[in-house]
Amino acid sequence: MKRVFNEINERKKKLLNHKLFLDVHTITQEQVIEKMNIWAPLFVHLTMTFRDINKMFYQFPKPKNEMEEAINAHTEIDSTHWNLLKTDLQTLAIYNNVKNYGDAMSIIWQDAGAPIRNYIYHVMIRAQMCEDDVCLRMTALEAGETTVKMFFNTTKYIANIYQTKTGKKLHYFGDQHIESEVDNAVDLSIFEQQKLNQEKLDKALHIVSAHFDKFKCFLDYKYSITFPDKVIPKKSCQ
């Protein structure tokens, strides 16, 4: 598993210079409310689907060892983060804009969110690929956790600007979410000594590669809707 975790770290390093992570620091107080109103509704589907992925595909109904228990403990907490988004939608004054089921469906499945839904659907596909194998589940989980931390360390900056502008604190996009991810990270040391045969190693490395490729597409799209006046190379992410 050390080989797998090293690959995750290498892929992370290659994405740290993505334009979204750099240009997000150019967002001003005058722009921040508009930017949050674009971002926040598009996370409803992702966040709720992520909850289901944790509950349905990562957790072990009857954990048999410390590795399975560690995954369960982490995913149980991750399954509650949708509550933080709900609070942020209230803070952003978006929550009460939904008057009926039709409004909710239009927001959740709007065309503008299709690339983000595409990203999380592929997270689900990779989680299903792992079946009951604890090392493969940890591979998919850690690849996802690494990119989650990358992204929400970025949104934390925007949340701080929003708080300066409005006096209101965001939690899902702010400190509380990312601190929960760090505080409740799975102890990788109990997995590092696990040896994978070549077939399983190849599958694990494929999961890592596929995840980061899709995350790059996710970042490209987030950049395009955050900075529509700037050009970014186009790439098919279907």
84 contacts: CB under 8 Å, gap ≥ 6: 171, 172, 176, 177
Q: List the domain boundaries for the chain.
A: 2-226
pTM of this structure:
0.93
DSSP notation for 175-207? HHHHHHHHHT---THHHHT----HHHHHHHHHH
Query: What does the pLDDT look like over 79-117, one tens digit per residue?
Result: 999 999 999 999 999 888 788 899 889 989 999 999 999
Query: What does the pLDDT look like over 166-206, one tens digit per residue?
Result: 999 999 999 999 888 888 889 999 999 999 999 999 999 99
* CA dihedral for 183, 49, 118, 132, sign (positive or negative): positive
Residue with tokens 């995350």: 215
Looking at domain 2-226, which CATH architecture does it have?
Up-down Bundle (1.20)
Residue with tokens 């509950």: 55
With a cut of 80, say whether residue 23 has pLDDT above it.
Answer: yes
